[in-house]
Amino acid sequence: MVLQVSDNAKGLALAVASSAFVGTSFILKKIGLRRAAKCGASAGGGGYTYLSEPLWWAGMSTMLLGEVANFVAYIFAPAVLVTPLGALSIIVSSVLAHFVLKERLEKLGVLGCVSCIVGSVVVVVHAPEEHMPNSVVEIWNLATQPGFLAYAMTTLLLVGTLVLFFERRYGQTNILIYLGICSSMGSLTVVSIKAIGVAIKLTLDGVNQAAYPYTWFFLMVAIICGVSQINYLNKALDTFNLAIVSPIYYVMFTTLTILASGIMFKDWAGQSLSSIASELCGLTTILTGTILLHTADEGANNSAALLPWPLDKGSISWCISLSSDNLLKNVEEDYFVALQNSPPPV
């Protein structure tokens, strides 16, 4: 007896594996960057020593595996299932950072992790079954329906307005300008990638889809939108604090991607109102957990910044001699403080 595995189960397994790979890659790359910084200029200081660090390359390879798994997951499962599970990568990286990098996970961060897990379970339980299109022509017919055409035209009009009239004036002060462009283009990237993935799967199954011009059209859209998405995400990261960019980008990207996929592929067709409401509640719980995780991370960084130097760097051992000469204090982790002409205690 052969056990039949549903497409949703395959997509779920790939999405979870993707999150595990991506979350682990952050830790490997950070360890590699730390080791490289001890041998030369850090990446933040413009150095490229990390390119010779094996652990950094291991992290990049792991991230690539995660992105490939995420790409394939969209072939088997709807975006309403795959996209929210990206939050699990934050949990993986937070937990590993706590145990491997000794970066303390605060109570608020634990609450965020629990919220993401609970929301993910709710989404998985109530996720709709994926309908596999028979050809790229069928996907083209879905993309040219009035509903999705209206969404695509609205998105492009919004992006064009933000780029032409708002980016130059408000881009450096309002985070929603860059992230609005990035998330909007990202939603079109995902539906195009899903179309390409289905075309590849059908071709491998013996039904050649390369002969259809629609396949190449979706590929062109994916490349253009993907490059634009990365470009404006980099602008946002370069201009604003990571702790602010990450949660806002995740919320906007996830919401718009699920909306675009729901309109084009009709992910919720045939589902009851209670199932749809449960999915939305699960999605809201995941988004809330993501914000809590980043809030906890930002709070920990701010607390560390408020500690007086050098107490935030390590412990101090003192060798004190009462004399009028310069006093040298021995500080662990290579910190030295010179006190000149210290008066004797009264």
Residue 328 domain-assigned (yes or no): no
Residue 86 domain-assigned (yes or no): yes
Model pLDDT for residues 87-106, shown as the tens digit of each residue: 888 888 888 888 888 888 88
Q: What is the pLDDT of residue 3?
A: 61
pLDDT band at 317 (very low <50, low <70, confident <90, very high): very low
Out of 269, 288, 314, a domain closes at 269
Look up residue 245 and give its amino acid: V
Taking the C-alpha atoms of residue 128 and residue 14, their distance in angstroms, rounded to an integer, is 17
Mean pLDDT to the nearest integer, 158-166: 96
Tokens standing for 112?
């965020």
pLDDT band at 300 (very low <50, low <70, confident <90, very high): low
Which stretches within 127-212 are classed as H helix? 136-143, 146-161, 167-170, 175-204
Please give the tally of structural domains in the chain.
2
The dihedral built from the CA positions of residue 310, 316, 322 and 325, taken in this order, carries a sign that is negative
Mark whether 164 and 97 lie in a shared domain: no
Mark whether 91 and 18 lie in a shared domain: yes
CB crowding 231-261: b at 16 or more within 10 Å, else e: ebbebbeeebeebebbbbbbbbbbbbbbebb
With tokens 């949660």, the residue in question is 247
Lowest average pLDDT, out of 38-42, 43-47, 70-74, 281-285, goes to 43-47
Q: Which domain holds residue 182?
A: 129-269
Residue 114 domain-assigned (yes or no): no
| Predicted structure pTM score | 0.75
Q: Own/partner pairs for 300-306, CB < 8 Å, 24+ apart?
A: 300/103, 300/104, 300/106, 300/109, 301/243
Q: What is the pLDDT of residue 87?
A: 87
Mean pLDDT to the nearest integer, 195-218: 94
Q: pLDDT at residue 151 above 80? A: yes
Taking the C-alpha atoms of residue 236 and residue 230, their distance in angstroms, rounded to an integer, is 10
Residues 194/257, Cβ–Cβ less than 8 Å: no
